[in-house]
Structure 1
Amino acid sequence: MTDKPTKRPRDAEATKARILSAAKKEFAKNGLGGARVDIIANQAKANKRMIYHYFGNKEDLFQTVLEEAYVDIRTAEQKLELEHLPPREALERLVRFTWDYYLRNPEFITLVNSENLHRARHLKKSEVIEVVSRRFVNMVGGLLDRGVEQGVFRPGIDPVQLNITIAAIGYYYLTNRFTGSILFQRDLMKDEALEERLAFNIETILRLVCVSR
């Protein structure tokens, strides 16, 4: 007679997932300094002791949330399968994805802002971030190499610099959407404004990378 499988491992994973989800919202809303573990516990339907058991202290929990956030976007980028597309089309898809991801995941931007306030002291300790970041840079580098080989892209473009530029032209627009709407006297978050911005982002990157005809 075999023993019935225990539910404890599954329950533990479900609890950890709830804690991470609640922590992501709390850290994104209030930053590391303002986030409260008791609120995270309440939202996760857990208790503080369980949080400390699974994740250590609040700093450790914040690092785990950050790692999860970066792994999520890097994993989604890998699923774009850019290597199967013509270089120009692949680059446009990457620019479009980055913009759409920021719009769908505003917590990612606020978490990154919070970590920058702390001079990336949590990411410096993370081996996970190093691995996923290297994989992404290699993917973009491979895309650029294919474009150069086919005579579509200019040679000598640094994939790290390109990634920073793609991120920046979307990141700045969204983090400054409130002040920008006042300064430029237009609603930067209206549907037509967002579509216009995406088109501008794509054109900007393609003009930067593509060989002039």
Structure 2
Amino acid sequence: MPPRDADATRTRLLTAAAAEFARYGVAGARVERIAAAAQSNKAQIYHYFNSKDGLFAAVIGAHVEATFATDYFDAAALPETAAAIFDTFVDNPDLARLANWLRVEATSLDAPMPALEDANAAKIRAIEKAQSDGIVTNRLPAAVLLGLIVTIASAWTDLPPGFDMIERDFTVAQQREFVIESVRRLVAP
């Protein structure tokens, strides 16, 4: 066991949990495996995060904070923002899997996700401002636009079986251009 250091323990737990949740989702994840991978114990998970759902919420929150630190979101340049989301998921397949698990298991989670909620609220406000400035279409509500942009940008991480021809027939660069063009058409005033 490494020496006791609360911040280091919390960081190791978040890192181990991110890998576990990406692979198995919340329902399939096991706190025993997370604790072992973090060189910690189950009691520490409950001490820092209250529950497995709380740990998942903390993992999502950590990714949201790290993503916001990159300042990738620009409501005046939503096609490029979608490309940045696409790039993030291509470069971080575990993050893409975490996002997919969040979509699948969100309704069964018993932990608030204030970082995610605050981040999305800020993005919606920014899109609303871009709409009022005439830069972005107002044909759709800002929240709907945000949802569609994220869905388009993450489409290749969430394709159902049987769509392997997209990955086979189009390069990552081409897929990225499809995302940009799709969002450009979607948000054009």
- TM-score class, shorter-chain normalisation, is 0.7 to 0.9
Residue 14 (structure 1) aligned to one of 8, 11, 27: 8
How many percent identity over aligned positions? 26
Distance 1:13 1:138 in 2: 34
Aligned residue identity for 2:56: F
Residue 127 (structure 2) aligned to one of 128, 140, 144: 140
Matches within 5 A, 1:1-213: 11-73=5-67, 75-76=68-69, 79-80=71-72, 82=74, 87=76, 90-122=77-109, 125-146=112-133, 148=134, 152-176=135-159, 179-181=162-164, 184=165, 188=167, 193-211=171-189
Structure 1 unmatched ranges of 5 or more: 1-6
Q: Per-residue deviation at 1:189? A: 6.3
The answer to whether the 8 Å contact 1:115/1:121 transfers is: no
Aligned CA-pair RMSD:
2.8
Distance 2:181 2:103 in 1: 29
Q: Per-residue deviation at 1:41? A: 1.5
Residue 176 of structure 1: SS of its match in structure 2? coil
The answer to whether the 8 Å contact 1:22/1:40 transfers is: yes
Q: Per-residue deviation at 1:107? A: 2.3
Q: Per-residue deviation at 1:124? A: 6.6
Q: Per-residue deviation at 1:114? A: 2.4
Matched residue count: 187
Structure 2 unmatched ranges of 5 or more: none
Q: Which moved more, 1:31-40 or 1:47-56?
A: 47-56
* Alignment deviations for residues 56-106 of structure 1 (CA, whole Å, 9 cap, x no partner): 232322222233233433x146x13737xxx3xx22321211111111222
Aligned residue identity for 2:175: R
Residue 26 of structure 1: SS of its match in structure 2? helix
The answer to whether the 8 Å contact 1:144/1:157 transfers is: no
Aligned residue identity for 2:186: L
The answer to whether the 8 Å contact 1:92/1:206 transfers is: yes
* Alignment deviations for residues 145-178 of structure 1 (CA, whole Å, 9 cap, x no partner): 33x1xxx544444221211111112323222276
Q: Which moved more, 1:202-211 or 1:26-35?
A: 202-211
Distance 1:53 1:177 in 2: 38
The alignment's TM-score, normalised by the length of structure 2, stands at 0.82
User: Which structure's relative contact order is higher, taking Cα pairs within 8 Å and 6+ residues apart?
Assistant: 2
Residue 46 of structure 1: SS of its match in structure 2? coil
Structure number with greater Rg is: 1
Q: Per-residue deviation at 1:21? A: 0.7
